[in-house]
Amino acid sequence: MRKLTQEDLTHLLDQKIFHLISEVADGLGMECYVVGGYVRDLFLERPSKDIDVVTVGSGIRLARAVAARLGAGAHLSVFNHFGTAQVKFHGHEVEFVGARKESYSHDSRKPVVEDGTLEDDQNRRDFTINALAVCLNRARFGELVDPFDGLWDLEDRLIRTPLDPDVTFSDDPLRMMRCVRFATQLNFYIDEETFEALERNRERIAIISRERVADELNKIMMAPTPSKGFVELSRCGLLPLIFPELAALEGVKKVNGRGHKDNLYHTLEVLDNVCLRSDNLWLRWAALLHDIGKPRTRRFDPVAGWTFHNHDFVGAKMVPEIFRKMKLPMNEKMKYVQKLVGLHMRPIVIADEEVTDSAVRRLLFEAGDDIEDLMMLCEADITSKNVQRKRRFLDNFRLVREKLVDLEERDRIRNFQPPVTGEEIMAVFGLKPCREVGVLKAAVKDAILDGVVPNEHDAAYAYLLRRAEELGIKPVAP
Ligand code: ATP
Ligand code: MG
């Protein structure tokens, strides 16, 4: 965090947009401040484009006057229902709101709102670091108003509520998710009292919509080290409430003194590994879910020890269920995650045995354009602390990657469509759509993937005739 003096703040706000708001507010005789995330991010030197302005009086009135002053370049949207208005101007988005006082009832996160002072407005904010305000009126331009020592908390890297945390969290339980999210995004600590209130109020999360919880989870997922957020969610007991399938990965079972690794902590390590290499939210989700099938497939075998047979397959089947429940998109993003979860053991199995052309060709065929992401996931999945073992896997993965490039050039298997189509098969043998057509088509595909037949029409066609003859299927006379 940087230390900013009064002059520094004045200097940072020395932008056309702030001077203009200042003049307009002075003209109307309205007290006004920049507040919340924008001010916090000035101190943290984080880029932020959304500016929140709070005024003692009507936010809409001030916004209208600012928009009028800006003229044609500005775009005004008024939300009468919320008493707010937004002005877009040259890439800035400024949200205007009147200072308010809020009071909550037990069963809703929608408060009763009345007009209030700046102090009332700061009291209703979620964290001390989000309650900083800087005055824009000319006489006090750049003056920081920090009633809860948010600046100290920025310095100590602390997330702390301005008022009693039990009240803050119980009033609006979404703040519990925001608490963990900010700790993760900013790499801050959660203050002890605030953390204890998370534990005490966690059941209140039930009144928050799944969409909002998912929004916060996605923000945690996009942080540089998302594991931090999931560890906090687990520590305070929110995780089983918002994501029971993930919480079920935690813990080590022992039989006859033999335990397996803790699958939650392994998963989080894989997730962080992927995050070092990719910003793709959905690849990150695939990493989070790659072992989600393990609790349902865990068995103890006296000889083999702990096994999780088919956890890839079971996990892939759980993906749509989880996405639907968490209100994540049920579209091609989900399908992509499902595919990677279902395929995540394949490169490891190949790398564990001999890396054959045939196995790599099949992998390329099934993964298609997502092969690169799948390899990234699998490399991230090698979290073994045994250096030799890790080395061996990574070396074999390198071999798989080399073969992928080589086969791709030779056979063009990615997005491959077998050169003999079902229609052609039906025409050649005089068949209607039936089982035989499927069998012959699969035989041609397998022969190409196994490298028995090159990926070309004439060779595939000749192979088709041979296979059909073996099966006693005769071509119709030409
Ligand atoms: P970011 O935009 O990076 O997510 P932010 O702090 O700007 O962070 P917003 O959701 O944009 O967060 O909200 C702006 C400000 O409004 C916050 O800084 C905070 O002061 C206040 N705020 C937002 N949501 C809540 C809430 N649920 N309870 C209390 N105050 C809130
Ligand atoms: Mg914001």
- The CATH number linked to 47 is 3.30.460.10
Q: Which pair of tokens denotes residue 50?
A: 């959304």
- The CATH number linked to 210 is 1.10.110.30
Does residue 297 lie in a domain region? no
Instruction: For residue 17, report the distance from its CA to the centre of ligand 2, in Å.
Output: 17
Cα-based distances in Å from 233 to 195, 240, 246, 278, 345: 10, 9, 11, 23, 28
Does residue 128 lie in a domain region? yes
Residue 22: pLDDT over 70: yes
Q: What is the pLDDT of residue 26?
A: 98
Q: What is the pLDDT of residue 342?
A: 97
Ligand 1 atom closest to the CA of 175, numbered from 1 = 27
Amino acid letter at 419?
P
Does residue 127 lie in a domain region? yes
Does residue 285 lie in a domain region? no
Treating both helix axes as pointing N-terminal to C-terminal, what angle do 371-380 and 387-411 enclose, rounded to 10 degrees?
A: 170
My answer on whether 161 and 151 are in the same domain is no
**Average pLDDT value for the chain:** 92
Residue 353: pLDDT over 90: no
Cα-based distances in Å from 60 to 16, 67, 70, 92, 341: 20, 10, 15, 17, 49
Does residue 187 lie in a domain region? yes
Q: Which residue, 207, 242, 277, sits at the end of a domain? A: 242
My answer on whether 31 and 134 are in the same domain is yes
Number of separate domains in the chain: 3
The string of pLDDT tens digits covering residues 457-472 is 999 999 999 999 999 9
My answer on whether 27 and 148 are in the same domain is yes
My answer on whether 150 and 196 are in the same domain is no
Ligand 1 atom closest to the CA of 131, numbered from 1 = 20
Structure-model confidence comparison of residues 411 and 41, the more confident one: 41
Does residue 251 lie in a domain region? no
CA 472, distance to chain mean position in Å, is 54
Q: Which residue, 227, 242, 257, sits at the end of a domain? A: 242
Ligand 1 within 6 A of 175 CB?
Answer: yes
- CB–CB of 456/365 below 8 Å? no
The string of pLDDT tens digits covering residues 403-448 is 888 887 776 777 677 889 899 999 999 999 999 999 999 999 889 8
Ligand 1 atom closest to the CA of 219, numbered from 1 = 4
Q: Which residue, 223, 242, 261, sits at the end of a domain? A: 242
Structure-model confidence comparison of residues 228 and 16, the more confident one: 228
My answer on whether 19 and 150 are in the same domain is yes
Flag whether the pTM goes above 0.75: yes
Amino acid letter at 389?
R
My answer on whether 166 and 39 are in the same domain is no
- CB–CB of 160/128 below 8 Å? yes
My answer on whether 199 and 121 are in the same domain is no
The string of pLDDT tens digits covering residues 172-195 is 999 999 999 999 999 999 999 999
Cα(167)–Cα(266) distance, rounded to whole angstroms?
Answer: 36
Cα(255)–Cα(46) distance, rounded to whole angstroms?
Answer: 50
Q: Which pair of tokens denotes residue 44?
A: 């943290």
The total of other beta-carbon atoms located within 10 Å of residue 136's CB is 27
Which residues have C-beta within 8 Å of that of residue 465, sequence separation ≥ 6?
A: 475
My answer on whether 42 and 148 are in the same domain is yes
Protein residue with least CA distance to atom 15, ligand 1: 36
My answer on whether 110 and 227 are in the same domain is no
My answer on whether 224 and 93 are in the same domain is no
Instruction: For residue 37, report the distance from its CA to the centre of ligand 2, in Å.
Output: 5
Cα(50)–Cα(17) distance, rounded to whole angstroms?
Answer: 12
Protein residue with least CA distance to atom 25, ligand 1: 126
The string of pLDDT tens digits covering residues 292-304 is 999 999 888 888 8
Instruction: For residue 49, report the distance from its CA to the centre of ligand 2, in Å.
Output: 8
Does residue 178 lie in a domain region? yes
3-state secondary structure of 291: coil
Treating both helix axes as pointing N-terminal to C-terminal, what angle do 332-343 and 311-326 enclose, rounded to 10 degrees?
A: 160
Residue in 44, 86, 118, 125 to alter for ligand 1 test, most ligand atoms within 8 A of Cβ: 125
Does residue 332 lie in a domain region? no
Ligand 1 atom closest to the CA of 126, numbered from 1 = 29
Instruction: For residue 331, report the distance from its CA to the centre of ligand 1, in Å.
Output: 29
The string of pLDDT tens digits covering residues 236-261 is 999 999 999 999 999 888 888 888 88
Ligand 1 atom closest to the CA of 185, numbered from 1 = 3
- Residue 45 is part of which domain span? 6-156
My answer on whether 70 and 94 are in the same domain is yes
Which residues have C-beta within 8 Å of that of residue 420, sequence separation ≥ 6?
A: 441, 444, 457, 460, 461, 464
DSSP class of residue 256? Answer: T
Ligand 1 within 6 A of 126 CB?
Answer: yes
Q: What is the pLDDT of residue 79?
A: 96
CA-closest candidate to residue 216, choices 321, 126, 153: 126
Ligand 1 within 6 A of 130 CB?
Answer: yes
My answer on whether 141 and 19 are in the same domain is yes
3-state secondary structure of 307: strand
